[in-house]
Amino acid sequence: MDSIFNYKLEELEDFFESIGEKKFKARQIFEWIYKKHIYDFYEMSNISKTLQEKLNNTFSTNLLTIKTKQSSKLTNKYLFELEDGNLIEAVLMRHDYGNSICVSSQVGCNMGCTFCESGRLKKVRNLSAADIVRQIIMIQEDIDERIDSIVVMGIGEPFDNYDNVMKMVRIVNSPYGIEIGARHITISTSGLIPMIEKYANEDLQTNLAISLHAPNDELRSKLMPVNRAYPLKDLMKAIKSYIDKTNRRVTIEYLLLKDVNDTEECAIELSKLLKGLNVYVNLIPYNETSHIEYKTSPNKNVMKFYDLLKKNKINVTVRMKFGDEIDAACGQLRANEVNKL
């Protein structure tokens, strides 16, 4: 049975029309689910008994199971179990500007970045739109607070699951849905160029983040095998044309790995690469994982890197270290769990 959380408003309208019902019923269902948080068709009082029964026989309303949850002052980290037993993670981060959730887009990831726990566990399957929507719903239910923004930066490469991720965006962005503003939704990619081009042509105000992590091909290919298929020169071209087309500022994520990509030379090379582009760089402190060859960059390297970018007039911030005491890098909880098996 297909999950109700897989349906965009228009698709649900089509469904109602196809069974000879008025299409405004779709809006009512959306409001019950996403506004009133009622997930049982039989509790939807403005729906007739026969229609309740029909809906109940047509759509599943299963949520996810919370397998483990770890909380610290500013973060909650969830390990969810899907119906088929697969495990995915999502993280709640409490910022001063609101609650943000980092969601997973796949079970595992095939991109094979050498520093990443998610990449160590090969892709098992894509998540459906419903699987992603339900990560948000579960956390919303758990904390009983509004979710203000979403970043697709958990396990998986969202642009390797483009259609489902975009469907999720339309569902949560709907005014009858969770109603998370497009400007508060960010998708992070390791750099799948054809999908960046496609994303530029969506009529949406959502944001793009690029995991760059290195300022030249040699280093980037070592860290991110995807760079061999989509080298930096082409990636930079794609980013530039995305910015030209959308007029939106792009986030460049740069993970700092001690003595690997955190040197002064790298900072200068990165500044040159990004010069004049409407981007801002987010320097991410590395969370050490079982990839023992990589170490967190010491603070003095981080600050020097930051200063060099600033000096070269590149917009830059250092990501706040969130919940480092609780396996905060997405993929780590699941990796721990899977390794135990």
* Residues belonging to the active site: 89, 330
Site residues (vs ligand SF4, CB under 6 A):
109, 111-113, 116, 118-119, 156-157, 190, 211
3-state SS assignment for residue 279: strand
Cβ at position 260, least distance to ligand SAH in Å: 13
Picked from ligand SAH, ligand SF4, none, the partner binding residue 131 (CB below 5 to 8 A depending on kind) is none
3-state SS assignment for residue 139: helix
Cβ at position 87, least distance to ligand SAH in Å: 16
Please give the Cα distance from 253 to 5 (Å, whole number).
Answer: 30
Cβ at position 118, least distance to ligand SAH in Å: 7
**Beta partners for 219?**
none
Mark 58-97 with x for binding to ligand SAH (rule: CB under 6 A) and - for no binding: ----------------------------------------
CB 129 within 8 A of CB 96: no
> Of all residues in this chain, which one has the CB nearest to ligand SF4 in the complex?
119
CB 164 within 8 A of CB 132: yes
Picked from ligand SF4, ligand SAH, none, the partner binding residue 333 (CB below 5 to 8 A depending on kind) is none
153: contact with ligand SAH by CB under 6 A? yes
327: contact with ligand SAH by CB under 6 A? no
- Pick 255 or 308: Cβ nearer ligand SAH: 255
Give the DSSP letter string of 184-253: GEEEEES--HHHHHHHHTSS---EEEEE---SSHHHHHHH-THHHHS-HHHHHHHHHHHHHHH--PEEEE
Please give the Cα distance from 218 to 227 (Å, whole number).
Answer: 9
> Edge-to-edge, what's the strand order for the sheet holding 185-189?
65-71, 75-81, 87-95, 98-102, 149-152, 185-189, 207-211, 250-256, 279-285, 315-318
Cβ at position 153, least distance to ligand SF4 in Å: 8
100: contact with ligand SAH by CB under 6 A? no
189: contact with ligand SAH by CB under 6 A? yes
322: contact with ligand SAH by CB under 6 A? no
Helix (H) or strand (E) holding 21: none
- Pick 9 or 224: Cβ nearer ligand SAH: 224
Q: At what angle do helices 232-246 and 193-200 cross, to 10 degrees?
A: 10
CB-side exposure of 159: number of CA atoms within 13 Å? 21
Cβ at position 40, least distance to ligand SAH in Å: 34
Picked from ligand SAH, ligand SF4, none, the partner binding residue 286 (CB below 5 to 8 A depending on kind) is ligand SAH
284: contact with ligand SAH by CB under 6 A? yes
Stretch that binds ligand SAH, among 42-50, 129-137, 185-193, 270-278 (CB under 6 A): 185-193
- Pick 44 or 88: Cβ nearer ligand SF4: 88
CA dihedral 236, 241, 246, 252 (to 10 degrees): 0
Cβ at position 115, least distance to ligand SAH in Å: 6
Q: List contacts with ligand SAH (CB under 6 A).
A: 115-116, 153, 157, 188-190, 211, 253, 255, 284, 286-287, 289, 329
